Amino acid sequence: MPPPYSVIPSSAAIGETVTVEAQDSECDPRYGENAEINVAVTDAGGKRIISTTAPMNDAGGFTYSFQLPTNATPGKATVEAYPHDVDWCDDTGKNNRVSAAEKPFIRASCAARIEPLLITEPG
């Protein structure tokens, strides 16, 4: 599953800096030495204004900061962050990360985690 993450601040004006971050997971997810996180921000108009990858550590911890672009539509935006190139939501029913597991894993939910971000006009 994607690591729990925070968006700081939860409200920012166009041109201000926003940080998306997560602490290390306690469940030892083993994302790998070169792990990355996908970060996507969709503005109130439905336009994807940020879509990038950033470094993430083996335990899922990361910090990514960005400046809200001038073409962002003010209003309620969404922020998504999930491990890059890891199929944590395998719709085939086969867990591709733990192929040698003694018990099969059953996917309970595939809903993407989304955090809100209020984008405001510059002050």
pTM of the model: 0.80
Structure tokens at 52: 């990038």
The hierarchical CATH code for the domain 6-120 is 2.60.40.1930
Q: Give dist(CA 59, CA 79) in Å, integer.
A: 21
Domain ranges, ordered by start, for the chain? 6-120
Give bridge partners of residue 18 from the DSSP assignment. 66
Per-residue pLDDT of the chain (123 residues; tens, 9 = 90+): 566 899 999 999 999 999 999 999 888 788 888 999 999 999 999 999 999 999 999 988 999 999 999 999 999 999 999 888 875 555 554 545 555 555 555 544 566 789 999 999 997
Compute how many other C-beta atoms are within 10 angstroms of the C-beta atom of residue 116. Answer: 11
